[in-house]
């Protein structure tokens, strides 16, 4: 599966514990990454400054669903389940 251009769910729903430029302490779950632009595109895409966890994310049907809204809901649920 290819990422849906402008989805951005993976840059909002999950927490990221590693430092991100502009977010030195990482990113809490449900908080929009500061590197996500108004079109929901990563400003660090392809950059060596992009965290490894972000570069390693792969879009899959069971994680991203069939729409941007479904991706946000599914990734939020996966995040919630990892905290329980």
Does pLDDT of 84 surpass 80?
no
> CA torsion angle for 61, 41, 38, 14 (degrees, to 10)?
50
pLDDT at 7: 96
Compute φ and ψ for 44, nearest 5 degrees: -105, 5
Query: Which residue's structure tokens are 């479904």?
Result: 70
35 and 22 Cβ atoms separated by less than 8 Å: yes
pLDDT at 82: 87
Q: Where are the domains of the chain?
A: 9-83
Give dist(CA 23, CA 59) in Å, integer: 24
Count of positions (residues) in the chain: 84
pLDDT digits (tens, 9 = 90+) for 11-65: 999 999 999 999 999 999 999 999 999 999 999 999 999 999 999 999 999 999 9
Verdict on whether the full-model pTM lies above 0.85: yes
């Amino acid at each position: 599966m290819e990422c849906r251009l402008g989805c951005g769910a993976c840059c909002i729903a999950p927490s990221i514990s590693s430092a991100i430029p502009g977010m030195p302490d990482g990113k809490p779950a449900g908080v929009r990454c500061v590197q996500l632009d108004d079109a929901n595109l990563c400003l660090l895409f392809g950059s060596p400054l992009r965290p490894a966890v972000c570069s390693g994310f792969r879009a899959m049907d069971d994680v991203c669903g069939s729409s941007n809204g479904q991706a946000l809901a599914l990734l939020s649920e996966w995040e919630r389940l990892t905290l329980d």
